[in-house]
Structure 1
């Protein structure tokens, strides 16, 4: 066991892994420290991977109309096998690249030294030229809600409940709340989705928001908008949430899904003069450096966009800045949103609201999945693809997709949007031959639909001038 490294990374989730692999490939001596003995961070054990595995199992049951034969515990068993496979794979990455894994909680002593408290209580000091903090985030807990009660759970504890609930209330209708509402409804569990805002996922395009709300309601989710809790009371059989509107909602479990907090506390950052915001996020510059240049931070612990995909890339970019002095950075506008509701949602670029506010002349191209041969063959006819493009230059400004496979379909449009200059044009989809039948064909249909609108408008202008 060595105690001097070129780079010491705190956290083994996507951000830590991306950083560790990049530094190791450059021949640096790298250590990764994590409190938990199994690598992967919250992404693997509590967040992205478990919820998507649960969602996939729920989707299959819905497709095969076998909901009455499955329980939440059945789904958890399938989920654990996926988690175990991920841990095995990710551990092999570290071993193969000679990255030293250290189990324990790290706290800074100075800008080149951390003290790690091992599970046994033993403390060891490690020195490094550079540090990358990738400690992730945890569900936010308001102080007046008793999370020690077994019937009040967050997205971490949800994977450990011992029974098969028949009713659940979800407080918070963000991405996590909406995803779990879909999963539980897929198991025929009664769901109350309590939203503190006036609509679901307001950062999405309005048409997509409406479609999501419609399908959640169609599947039996009871959505309550513009509600805030007054207090929460739990007993042996369930939880009552008292709302400020004088409503009382009773269910067997309450899932609290209202925000997350960066895991930046108890790390000795205050000794270094690194201050965090009210949600525990560490401020960084465009290269992911904190105010101490040799200490970087990436992933959920720096806040927005709080996505596993972005965290991994941030880890890589930080590592390449550290090792090679590269100044590439990750623009949040280039990151697609993937929301794994049933059906799923994905988008990239601007929404109609944003384009209207900026007074950008745009047109819309639609393709509805029910009109695509591939969707008719597979029976997955719910959904649509929407392309927003500039009326004059035909530059693609935003892509919004709702339906089965949306998070895969979006990448085709993303690739065209990322082309420089005149390479980014909706006309690409009308001059390119797609395999038939495929879901990718939605791009051709949507592009023709949008361009027809523009041509009709031009013809009308010409006629009116005559």
Structure 2
């Protein structure tokens, strides 16, 4: 029986960051990964594949150039599923190679196999060849991630009715697609396939989508989707889904029938905890397989067992999962863990991108904070003209009392990169004057910050900050 200071189950963003952090502190660390290669969901079916698919689709379709050359413009006239997969495989190989090198450089032990608890400190690992190992850890970090929710009433076949993991293995691009679920994953894939000129219909029982995003940003985003003929059937539910003659027929709760080439079911994910034998460790997951933790230390109700990443729920971002894993590992091995900065960015890699940091206008209203907004549209920047951008919006919210930035919200090309300027100002408690008085490279999309800052400053008046 091997003994370790920290056993990490899962090698996704939370697991790998936690393992490397503990190893850098001189601890003996073991990572257990049940997948064929290290990297977890993030590398193989989630973050990296979906973003690679997006980039490939935009490049091959000529999407970014259509503002100049028209909607009929294409870089490659006939785009196949194999075209998309070729770049994906190259990217995944690189990600795995980097991660394996990081483990080797930091002397992190890792084995392939399915892990489950024998008791609170002992885990059984069943390898592919049937060999069974037992390992013990002074502390254990569960970073097992999630898997797609697959309800019994959906006739999944991996070809015409798929979940988000199976979508990466399709053999042909569909001419039409229905996406069930208007959450982040559903919206990302729906807009990616729409950019490839697939006729996409998005269905969700809720009458709204992306409720955690500033409403004005969602309205702008929604307008762009409808403008390119995406069908948004919100407040409607698919009650029956049947496969027939290579097509899929959906019956909605309002009696509407839709026939399509492919259905992507992307309505939620489940924590991948069902095979861990949690009861043997004194743990219990909720009805979605998620674990409850202390939000500051990521410790479960069993003091030496921690959980981080998507398995603990919102925000379920690769970026925040990495920080959760790092903090959990430091606490687990007895090191000091500083609290991360208050504001972190949220990125949605749809077409167009959405990124946000800080308070939305709705949250500012709920807190009864006197405020003013500044707006800039990408077409107001010279770089926007150069890039042929007709759309894109940056919104900042400032306190009228302190003039401090409260939130930054962006929809458009490069939103997930641009947001970090606002994030830095937020965490450093900067004011509207930062954007008005500073110089930005010209021509850049980042100039939108100055335009939005001036817009807010003009509305606020030149009143001295009370900070």
Please, what TM-score do these two structures have when normalized by structure 1? 0.94
**Offset of residue 328 of structure 1:** 2.9
What does the per-residue CA deviation read over 1:198-246, in whole Å, with 9 as the maximum and x for residues that have no partner?
A: 1221221111111111111222211111011212112340211211111
Q: TM-score, normalised by structure 2?
A: 0.94
Greater Cα offset, 190-199 or 44-53: 190-199
The residue aligned with 2:188 is 179
Match in the other structure for 1:59:
58
Residues 22-71 of structure 1: CA distance to partner in whole angstroms, max 9, x if unpaired?
Answer: 01101111110011121111111101111111111112222353253312
Which residue is 2:45 aligned to? 46
Quote the Cα distance in structure 1 between the aligned partners of 2:460 and 2:47: 41
Which residue number corresponds to residue 363 of structure 2? 354
**Which of residues 126, 134, 138 in structure 2 aligns to 1:125?**
134
DSSP 3-state at the match of 1:68:
coil
- On the 8 A contact 2:120/2:280 being kept in 1, the answer is no
Q: Corresponding residue for 2:68? A: none
**How far apart are residue 18 of structure 1 and its match?**
0.6
Q: Residues 102, 401 of structure 1: CA spacing in aligned structure 2 closer, same or farther, 3 A cutoff?
A: same
Q: Are the counterparts in 1 of residues 161 and 263 from structure 2 also a CA contact under 8 Å? A: yes
Output aligned runs, 1:13-52, within 5 Å. 13-52=12-51
CA contact (8 A) 1:104 1:119 kept: yes
1:306 maps onto 2:306 in alignment: no
Structure 2 counterparts to residues 63-462 of structure 1, below 5 A: 63-64=64-65, 65-66=73-74, 68-148=77-157, 150-285=159-294, 286-330=296-340, 334-419=343-428, 423-455=429-461
The Cα shift of 1:311 comes to 0.6
What SS is found at the alignment partner of 1:76?
A: helix
The separation in 2 between residues aligned to 1:377 and 1:111, in whole angstroms, is 60
Structure 2 portions without partners, runs of 5+: 66-72
- Structure 1 gaps, min length 5: 459-466
CA distance in 2, matches of 1:370, 1:287: 44
Indicate if the aligned counterparts of 1:287 and 1:329 stay in contact, CA closer than 8 A: no
Which whole-Å deviations, capped at 9, do the CAs of 1:275-312 have from their partners, x for residues lacking one? 11111110111201111111110001111111111111
The answer as to whether partners of 1:15 and 1:314 remain within 8 angstroms in 2 is yes
Name the CA distance, whole Å, in 1 between partners of 2:336 and 2:143: 20
| Alpha-carbon distance in 2 for matches of 1:299, 1:413 | 25
Instruction: Quote how far apart the aligned CAs of 1:179 are.
Output: 0.9
Contact 1:314 1:330 in 2 (8 A): no
**Deviation (angstroms), 1:378:** 2.2
Secondary structure in structure 2 of the residue aligned to 1:394: coil
CA contact (8 A) 2:139 2:333 kept: no
Distance (Å, rounded) in 2 between the aligned partners of 1:396 and 1:63: 31
- CA shift, 1:122, in A, is 1.8
Count of residues in correspondence between the two structures: 452
User: Which stretch shows the higher mean deviation, 57-66 or 309-318?
Assistant: 57-66
